[in-house]
Structure 1
Amino acid sequence: MEHDTKTGIVKSGSAWLLVVIADLGIKSWGDVAAMLAALYSLVLLIEWAWKRIARPIFEAHGWIAPRKRRHIETTGHGDL
């Protein structure tokens, strides 16, 4: 009996998921690919804005701790 209940819940949940996806206008795999590409582009834009714009402003105001800069140790000429 418990297995039947879980199976029914999973089936109805997946049916509602498909209804929501269809309401978004996704009707083919090409639409899925386009939506994922747009989502990935949005994530990249947000990351760029955070690194180049928001984080330096937040660090300047002291709202977040500044990043620790890496120090590259240099050796003399010819030293390995």
Structure 2
Amino acid sequence: MHEVGLARSIFAMVAERAGGRPVSCVRLSLGPLACVEPSALAFSWQVLTEGTALDGAALQFLDGEGDSLVVREFEFAETV
């Protein structure tokens, strides 16, 4: 189940760029030939981010091309 490894890589990338600020959403483009099961990646993400600044950040999947998996953008959570 390579989705766990993908979730770890996405987590590291987003966490580094977010600098500890809470994130509400991460948008990924996922190509039809990427051999990634979105539900398995979302589950791995949920478990991995629990108790971190990315806890509760949703993964949104956009249509990509070929075998690509690209982190397109992420949104910071609003803080009060």
TM-score by length of 2: 0.23
Q: Which has the higher contact order (CA 8 A, sep 6+)?
A: 2
Structure number with the higher strand fraction is 2
Q: Which structure has the larger Rg?
A: 1
More helix per residue: 1
With the length of structure 1 as denominator, give the TM-score of the two structures: 0.23
